[in-house]
Structures are given as C-alpha cells and as structure tokens.
C-alpha cells in the first residue's frame, strides 16, 4: 500500500510495519554515542604519539638493550587506559541517551503507542502535541490549531500554522495545538536527521583546550626530526662509532620530548567527566560541553523547574464580582476538557476542580503560548472564556489586577479566569475581559535551591532568574531563598534603549517572552559573558540554542532536550554546581599537567642542542628518561588530573602553558647540563661516564620535581605526599645496588653526587623565583595552600548533596 494513502485514524497494520522494516524503510540513524567500539580502539591505538614511540621502540629493540625499551610499555598503557575510559563513557552515554531521547507516538491499527525514534517506518502516522519535535519529514494528516516552529531550520521565529496536506520537516517542533502527520522521509533521507541524531553524540571536536594541545603536538612533531638529526651528528662528532650507542642516544633525546601522557590524560579527563556526570543523571550530548561548563559565568534559569518544583498544586479559587465558585469551577472543567494537551498549570487545575461529566460544544480554541500568556475557548452557546496571566488580561490597576498582584507578591502563581468579548481566535482577542475568578496555584520551593544559588555566588557565577510568570511572584520566591537580587523587572517595560543595560545589571525578570529570552542571552554574550541557559518548555528552545551552554530538564519537551548540550535527566537544578565543577576540574587540571609535559619537552630539546654545541656524548640512556617521566611527570600528572578544581576557566591556554613551561624547561636543562659539564671526565672510563650521567640525572630530577611542586599548588596533604613519595622512590633507586644495576646508575662518587644535588637545588630555587615573578607580572599567582573560598565551595556542594538526598528520601516516602 502507498504510504500516502494510509488512513490517519487507523495508521499502519503490523504486517505493513514488518514489510517496511524488511525493505529498509525505517528511521535508522547514526549510533547514539557517535563512535563505534572499533573506532574507539582504532583512535586510541593508531595515534601520532604511539607512532613516534613505536618507531623509537623498534630501533631500541634492534640494539638488544631490552631495559632501555621500557618506554614501550607506555604505548600499551596509553592505548589500554584510553580505550577502557572511552568505552565506559560510551556505555554511560548510550544508557542515558535511551532515557533522555524523544519517544515519538505512532498510531498503528487504530491504537497509539510510544516507540523508539529508530522504529518509525515510512508511512507511519505520528501523533504530536506542544513541545514535541518532528523526528521525520512528513505531511500533516490531522490538525487541531496546529502551529509548527521551524526556527531551528529556517531562522524564522514566528510559528507557522499547519493544515492537513501541509509538509513539515524534521528538526522543527510543535509550538501549539495538536495533530498527526504521515512519515514521508525517514532515516538519512529526512531533512534534519543529523539534528536529532546529534542528541547524544560523543564528540571530541571544537574544543579550545584540545585545539591548543594539538597545536603543541604538531610543533613538537616537527621539532623531533631536526633534534634527531642533530643528536646523530653530535654523537658522530664526538667519535661514537657504535651504531647501537647512537640509536640509544637518539632515543634518550627524543623519548622525553614526546608528551606521551598529555593526550591520554586529556581524553581520560573528558571521559571521566562524562562518567561522573552520568552518575548524577546528567547526559552530556556533546563532549566539549564539559569544557564550556568551566567557562560559564552567567546562568540564566527559569523559576519553575529550577527554584521551584516542576509540578504545581491547586490552591484555591477567589471569585470576583457577582460570580459564584461553583460556576467558576464548571467553566474550568470545560476549559480543561477542551484542552487536548494540558500544561502543568491545567493539570493542577484538573486535580483541583475535577473533570466535566458533559462537555460543551467548542466553536473556536486558542492554545496557550508563552508569547500570549493566555489560552481560551469559544463555545457555541456558553460564550468566550479565557484563562491566563491577570496582568495581561486585565488592567493592573483594576480591582482584579490589584488583588492578583497582592497574591503574586507572596510567591504564589495566579491565573485569571474571565469572560471575553471577542472570539478567542479573533485578531482582537481577547478584547474586553470580565474577571470571573482568580485561580491560585501553589509552587513548592526546591529544598536544594538556596544552597545551589549560594554555591554559584561563592564561585563568581551570576544567576539570573528569567521567567514568564508575574515579576512580583518570581521576586517573592527568590527572596524566600535568602537571595538579595534587587527589584524584579517586568520585561514588558523593557525598551530597545535600556534593554541591554537592564539585562546585565538586574537579576530577576518576569513576564519574559520567548523572543526576549533569546535577546537576553545575546545581550549577555555581547557584554563578554559565557552564558548557560536552563529550560524545559517549548518557549526555551531558541534561547537554549543560542546560549553558550544549553541545559535542558529531562522532563522537558523533546525539542529542548534535542537542542541542549546537557540534559539533567532527574530535573535537579542542584546538579548544575556539580556540572560546572566538573568542567572546571577538567580544564584546570589539564592545564596544570600540561605544564609538566611541556617542561619535559623543552628541557629535552635544549639538552640535545647543548650536547651538539659542546660536542659531548649524550649523557643519558633511554631508561634514565623513562624513570624520570614516571615519577616527576606521568604518575603525578595522572593524579593531579583527578581532584576537584574550582578555578574559573580562562582563554589563552597555550600562552599560559608556554609562559611557565619554556623558562622552567630551560632551567632544568641548564641545571642538568652544567652538572654534566662540571663532573664529566674527558676520555674517562665507562664507570666514570655512568657516574657523571647519574649526577646529571640527579640535578635534573631535583629541579624537575620543583616544577611539579609549583604546578601542584595550592597544597593539600595528599599533594605534599605526591611530591615527597617520588623523592623517596628516587632515593631508593639511586642508592640500592639492585636498582642501580637495573637502571644503569652509579652514585658511588660522592663529589659528583654533591655537585648534582647543589646545582639541582639552585635550579629549584630559580624555578621558585620564576613562579613568583610570573605571578607578580600576570597577577595570577596561586596561593600556597587551598584558600578558604575553595573549602567553602566544596562545603556548599556537600550541603547541596545532603539537601538533594533529603528531598529524594521525602519523595520516596510519599
């Protein structure tokens, strides 16, 4: 059967669905997590770093010096760790995406059922209501005041009315009304298939941090070639004729130049960020969003769903004028019966007033939209009735308007039920409104809202409450949380002249339209802010899309979840501090460890050049630089990438890393080389050469360890252990006969060792001075010990967790 001829009230039969699946006419989309298991394995094994190390490892193995090839274990370790972490992240994303993605409703054999997005077939009849995204291209078959917003595709912000026979495109979403449509293009053929497929894509691109690391790696790759050539020339010039010794010298010079752990730690930190947030029911749709988290300095949040619970409860009715309460309740029941897609307010009203036994005949219907802030129904015999914001439907100075304002100022939500003079779909609607009753809804403030706002305040993140509700009501809720946010602003009073200034200076806004939300995000961005926008409704889609970081609630509409970079599946605003903290942890810690790896690259390069200029044999064996990398860089760097880091992210990653790494690397190289010059015995024995190398290595380790000591600041007890334990380990390696034989060391020459120690300490002092000087020049010096503000921020996070647990326990008990 031709899918165009499908009966929309019946839909496809089970047989037709099976036939279309067999024919491949199904909405097959790319994997939720973007990369397959094979791609993850391939991308972690066949890397530039592994290729460089692999070539050097093969050359060292040819010499027969197996111990000097210990660095080859890094190839295996890097690949295994990277694969495991990314597979864990993939599993987390896949499992969360199943929960967070849209489940379209299809009509088959006359029954409606929710299916996976990938199970939609050509010719299916899909049922849609406000906030739902169009998942495949199609043709409208039924429409009940249906309006489609195509702004995500066309940029046109005004919703477009749709009638049966009109085409609709995937990627658009329902602004108001209800209806059905027939799928005419599915899978890759759909207009915006990639938009919906990107809802949970595991991506490693478009990251300032990773772009900076890639630039560093590209430069290092090009430096390796001339340094290798220089080392070969230098060894030949000093009369080294043994090709094995030349290969070992080249490997010893080049291996430490390769920042083998930097890429691993970066990808691992991102993957662990995904996993950690996954434990908190937070779905990261795009991996670089974790980096964006760290840069956020303004969070725009709605009142409902963030400061208050999503669900509302019916409070009471206050009748106005000559109307009685039972008449108002009867009208509310009829309005609810006419609403095919009730929102949270209408659901609360239904719970409070019940359902109509007999329904009135509907002539015209106007669904609720955030732009109008009211809905209405024109009945054939009972007239025109509207329900919405009191300050929109009646004069704020009227008796009904004044009373509504008084109630709203206490933090309650107030709606006005009124009889309108015009047909609700008329251009002049609602016309003059005769107030009938005030509908008062109660909103419960989230238990963790106050601590969440306090956390953001302590971290220098500005929170702006942007709501469609009455401004006084929003202000009252904010004040109840102990937040002094100044006077709330009614967004209807904003003009083009004062819009940007008011948005940047004020904290609480009410009666905000969807277009104003979008403009507010733009105004904040133009002022230099990095903006996170939270939302759950169809009115939030455009602002979420334009924000630097869109955060959707899991119970929100499919459209908001599809455009957001992060989805809070448990709807908890209190998760956001952990989200921001995770971003800061990743960015701050990676920058910290990048200093270590770049320092190693710099001092290795300088050593190779100095050896050539002074016509000396290269002082180290590959095993020497391997153990140096283990304790002064590799293990400490991995551990430093894990703890919390509340430091606010800044741009200029590469410049800051170079600022410390280059001069610190030069100091380490100078300390090691000067020691080697002073203690080396020309034409000495092999034993004397080993002793000189050991002394030079000691100077290198002492000064390189002090780079670690500065990078690890501010100190905590475990960081002190991180610095002291490697020194203890080196003490064993340098003094025990067994380890000296394994690592080709000889510390028996006391004079040489004292020389190396003194020069190493001088190098450490110079690095300490460099750290203080850079801090004074840039005004970015970190404190020696963890500051009180950071401890308070961590305490605030713990309070939020306790409040969230109590709220969850209360919910479970109820």
Catalytic residue list: 302
**CB neighbourhood size of 440 (10 A):** 19
Would residue 531 count as lying in a domain?
Answer: no
> What is the C-alpha separation between 379 and 384, in angstroms, rounded?
6
Contact predicate 117/123, CB 8 Å: no
pLDDT of the residue at 33 = 52
pLDDT for 200 equals 38
Pull the structure tokens for residue 550: 């869109």
Give CA–CA dist 414/432, Å, rounded: 19
pLDDT band at 195 (very low <50, low <70, confident <90, very high): very low
The CA angle 82-86-87, to the nearest 5 degrees, is: 115
For residue 414, pLDDT over 70 is answered with yes
Question: What would the two tokens of residue 279 be?
Answer: 């434990």
Pull the structure tokens for residue 616: 């000396």
Which residues contact residue 682 at a Cβ distance below 8 angstroms, ignoring those fewer than 6 apart?
none
- Count other C-beta atoms under 10 Å from residue 462's C-beta: 16
Q: Is pLDDT at 502 greater than 70 in this prediction?
A: yes
Residue 113 half-sphere exposure, CB side, CA atoms within 13 Å? 14
- Most confident region among 75-79, 241-245, 355-359, 447-451 by mean pLDDT: 355-359
Please say if the pLDDT value at position 41 is more than 90.
Answer: no
Query: Three-state DSSP class for 303?
Result: coil
DSSP codes, 560-603: HHHH-SEEETT--TTHHHHHHHHHHHHHHHHHHHHHHHHHHHHH
3-state helix/strand/coil string of 488-534: CEEHHHCCCCCHHHHHHHCCEEECCCHHHHHHHHHHHHHCCCCEEEE
pLDDT value at 327 more than 80: yes
Q: Across residues 111-139, what is the average pLDDT?
A: 89
**Which pLDDT tens digit goes with each residue over 82-103?**
788 778 777 776 666 655 566 8
Question: Is 346 a domain residue?
Answer: yes
Helix axes 653-679, 750-778, angle to 10 degrees: 160
**DSSP state string for 619-658:** ---HHHHHHHHIIIIIHHHHHHTSS---PPP-S-HHHHHH
- Residue found by looking up tokens 């961590």 in the block: 794
Tokens linked to 365: 């219907």
212 phi and psi angles, rounded to 5 deg? -65, -40
796 has a pLDDT exceeding 50: yes
**What values do phi and psi take at 362, rounded to 5?**
-90, 130
Compute the average pLDDT of residues 491-505.
91
Domain that holds residue 358: 313-442
Distance between CA atoms of residues 447 and 35, nearest Å: 39
Q: Where are the beta strands (DSSP E) in 231-371?
A: 282-284, 298-301, 313-319, 362-366
Give 567's strand partners: 283, 552
Sign, CA torsion 262/265/268/270: negative
Yes or no: say if 443 and 308 are a contact pair by the CB < 8 Å rule: yes
DSSP H stretches of helix in 712-749: 717-735, 737-742
List CB contacts of 521: < 8 A, sequence separation 6 or more.
300, 531, 533, 543, 546, 547
Instruction: Determine the average pLDDT of the residues in 571-591.
Output: 82
Is residue 177 domain-resident? no
- For residue range 225-276, list pLDDT tens digits in order: 777 777 777 666 665 567 777 777 777 667 767 777 777 777 777 778 878 8
Quick one: pLDDT at residue 455?
Answer: 82
Buried b (16+ CB within 10 A) or exposed e, 698-729: bbbbbbbbbbbbbbbbebeeebeebbeebeee
If you count them, how many residues does the chain have? 814
Question: Percent of the chain, pLDDT > 90?
Answer: 26
Cα dihedral sign, 117-122-127-133: positive
Residue 266 · residue 44 · CB < 8 Å: no
- Cα R_g (the chain), whole angstroms: 33
DSSP code of 129?
-
Please report whether residue 429 resides in a domain.
Answer: yes
Average pLDDT, the chain: 82
Q: At what angle do helices 575-613 and 788-813 cross, to 10 degrees?
A: 140
pLDDT at 74: 66
Average pLDDT score over residue span 596-608: 85
What pLDDT band is residue 601 in, cutting at 50, 70 and 90? confident
Q: Cis omega (within 30 of 0) on the bond before 617?
A: no
> Is the backbone of residue 305 left (phi > 0), alpha (psi -120 to 50) or beta?
left
The pLDDT tens digits of the residues spanning 343-383 come to 888 989 999 999 988 999 999 999 887 778 899 999 999 99
User: Residue 45, preceding bond cis, omega within 30 degrees?
Assistant: no
Q: Report CA-CA distances (Å) from 435 to 391, 421, 439, 571.
A: 12, 11, 11, 35
320 assigned to some structural domain: yes
Which residue's entry shows tokens 């391939």?
42
Q: For residue 179, is it within any domain? A: no
- Among 115-124, 154-163, 181-190, 665-674, the range of highest mean pLDDT: 665-674
Give yes or no for a contact between 734 and 698, defined as CB atoms under 8 angstroms apart.
yes
Query: Per the structure block, which two tokens stand in for 566?
Result: 């992060």
* Confidence at 418, pLDDT banded by 50, 70, 90: very high
Q: For residue 693, is it within any domain?
A: no
Q: What is the 3-state secondary structure (H, E, C) of 386-412?
A: EEECHHHHCCCCCHHHHHHHHHHCCCC
How confident is the model at residue 34, as a pLDDT?
56
pLDDT at 152: 65
CA 264 to chain centre: 20
User: What Å distances lie between residue 754 and 130, 692, 736, 759, 765, CA to CA?
Assistant: 78, 11, 18, 9, 16
| Separation CA 487–CA 127 (nearest Å) | 43
pLDDT tens digits for range 736-794: 998 898 888 999 999 999 999 999 999 999 999 999 998 888 877 677 777 666 666 66
pLDDT in tens, 606-649: 888 888 788 788 788 878 877 887 778 878 888 888 887 777 77
> How far, in Å, CA of 472 to CA of 404, rounded?
10
Q: How confident is the model over 561-577, as a mean pLDDT?
A: 81
The tokens for 783 are 């404190």
Q: What is the pLDDT of residue 61?
A: 82
> What is the model's pLDDT at position 31?
56
The per-residue pLDDT for range 436-446, each reduced to its tens digit, is 999 999 888 88
Q: Kindly tell me if the per-residue pLDDT of 551 is higher than 60.
A: yes
Alpha helices in 64-100 (DSSP H): 73-100
Three-class DSSP category at 380:
coil
Report the percent of the chain where pLDDT is more than 70. 87
pLDDT confidence of 808, banded at 50, 70, 90? low
Confidence bin at 1 (pLDDT 50/70/90): very low
- State the virtual CA torsion across 178, 180, 183, 188 in degrees, nearest 10: 10
For residue 348, what is the domain's CATH number?
Answer: 3.40.1110.10
Instruction: Tell me which residue of 252, 253, 261, 251 sits closest to 56, measured CA to CA.
Output: 251
Q: Could you tell me if 526 and 500 are in contact, meaning their C-beta atoms sit under 8 angstroms apart?
A: yes
Residues facing residue 313 across a β-bridge: 442
> What distance in Å separates the CA atoms of residue 565 and residue 300, rounded to the nearest whole number?
15
Q: pLDDT band for position 198 (50/70/90)?
A: very low
In a domain, 35, yes or no: no
Nearest to 697 by CA among 623, 613, 783, 791: 623
Residue 129, number of CB atoms within 10 A of its CB = 18
């Amino acid at each position: 059967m031709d899918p165009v001829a499908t009966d929309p009230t019946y839909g496809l039969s089970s047989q037709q669905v099976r036939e279309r699946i067999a024919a491949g006419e199904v909405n097959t989309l790319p994997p939720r997590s973007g990369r397959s298991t094979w791609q993850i394995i391939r991308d972690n094994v066949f890397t530039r770093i592994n290729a460089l190390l692999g070539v050097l490892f093969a050359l060292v193995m040819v010499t027969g010096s197996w111990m000097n090839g210990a660095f080859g274990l890094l190839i295996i370790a890097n690949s295994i760790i990277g694969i495991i972490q990314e597979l864990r992240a993939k599993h987390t994303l896949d499992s969360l995406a199943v929960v967070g993605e849209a489940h379209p409703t299809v009509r088959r054999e006359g029954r409606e059922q929710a299916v996976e997005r990938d199970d939609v077939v050509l010719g299916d009849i899909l049922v849609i209501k406000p906030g739902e995204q169009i998942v495949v291209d199609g043709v409208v078959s039924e429409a009940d005041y249906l309006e489609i917003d195509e702004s995500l595709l066309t940029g046109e912000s005004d919703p477009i009315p749709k009638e049966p026979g009109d085409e609709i495109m995937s990627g658009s979403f329902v602004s108001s009304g209800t209806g059905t449509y027939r799928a005419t293009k599915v899978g890759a053929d759909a207009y915006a298939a990639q938009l919906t497929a990107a809802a949970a894509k595991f991506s490693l691109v478009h990251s300032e941090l990773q772009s900076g690391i890639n630039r560093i790696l590209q430069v290092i790759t090009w430096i390796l070639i001339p340094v290798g050539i220089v080392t070969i020339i230098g060894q030949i010039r000093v009369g080294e004729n043994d090709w094995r010794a030349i290969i070992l010298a080249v490997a010893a010079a080049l291996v430490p130049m390769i920042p083998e752990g930097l890429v691993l730690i970066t990808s691992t930190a991102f993957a662990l960020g995904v996993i950690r947030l996954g434990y908190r029911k937070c779905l990261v749709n795009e991996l670089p969003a974790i980096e964006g988290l760290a840069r956020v300095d303004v969070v725009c949040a709605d009142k409902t769903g963030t400061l208050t619970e999503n669900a509302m409860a019916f409070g009471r009715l206050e009748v106005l004028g000559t109307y009685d309460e039972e008449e108002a309740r009867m009208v509310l029941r009829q309005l609810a019966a006419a609403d095919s897609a009730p929102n949270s307010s209408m659901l609360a009203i239904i719970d409070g007033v019940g359902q109509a036994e007999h329904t009135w005949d509907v002539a015209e219907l106007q669904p609720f939209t955030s732009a109008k802030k009211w809905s209405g129904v024109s009945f054939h015999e009972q007239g025109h009735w509207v329900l919405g914001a009191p300050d929109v439907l009646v004069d704020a100075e009227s008796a009904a308007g004044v009373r509504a304002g008084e109630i709203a100022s206490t933090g309650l939500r107030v709606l006005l039920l009124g009889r309108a003079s015009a047909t609700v779909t008329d251009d002049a609607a609602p016309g003059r409104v005769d107030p009938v009753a005030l509908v008062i809804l109660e909103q419960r403030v989230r238990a963790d809202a106050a601590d969440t706002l306090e956390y953001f305040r302590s971290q220098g993140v500005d929170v702006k409450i942007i709501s469609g509700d009455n401004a006084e009501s929003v202000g009252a809720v904010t004040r109840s949380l102990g937040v002094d946010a100044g006077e709330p602003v009614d967004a209807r009073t904003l003009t083009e002249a004062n819009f940007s200034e008011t948005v940047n200076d004020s904290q609480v806004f009410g009666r905000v339209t969807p277009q104003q939300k979008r403009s507010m995000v733009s105004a904040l961005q133009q002022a230099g802010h990095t903006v996170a926008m939270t939302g759950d409704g169809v009115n939030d889609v455009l602002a979420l899309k334009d924000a630097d970081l869109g955060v959707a609630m899991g119970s929100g509409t499919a459209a908001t979840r599809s455009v957001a970079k992060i989805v809070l599946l448990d709807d908890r605003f209190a998760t956001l501090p952990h989200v921001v903290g995770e971003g800061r942890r990743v960015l701050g810690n990676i920058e910290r460890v990048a200093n270590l790896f770049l320092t190693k690259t710099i001092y290795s390069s300088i050593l190779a050049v100095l050896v050539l200029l002074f016509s000396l044999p290269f002082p180290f064996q590959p095993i020497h630089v391997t153990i140096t990398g283990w304790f002064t860089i590799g293990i400490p760097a991995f551990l430093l990438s894990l703890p919390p880091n509340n430091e606010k992210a800044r741009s200029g990653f590469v410049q800051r890393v170079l600022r410390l790494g280059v001069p610190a690397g030069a100091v380490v190289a100078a300390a090691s080389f000067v020691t080697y010059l002073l203690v080396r015995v020309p034409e000495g024995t092999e034993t004397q050469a080993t002793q000189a190398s050991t002394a030079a290595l000691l100077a290198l380790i002492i000064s390189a360890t002090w780079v670690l000591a500065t990078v690890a600041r501010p100190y905590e007890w475990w960081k002190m252990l991180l610095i002291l334990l490697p020194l203890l380990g080196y003490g064993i390696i340098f003094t025990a006969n067994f380890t000296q034989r394994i690592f080709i060391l000889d510390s028996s020459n006391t004079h040489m060792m004292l020389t190396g120690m003194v020069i190493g300490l001088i190098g450490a002092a110079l690095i300490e001075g460099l750290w203080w000087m850079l801090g004074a020049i840039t005004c970015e010096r970190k404190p020696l010990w963890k500051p009180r503000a950071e401890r308070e921020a961590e305490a605030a996070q713990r309070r939020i967790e306790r409040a969230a647990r109590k709220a969850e326990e209360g919910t479970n008990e109820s």
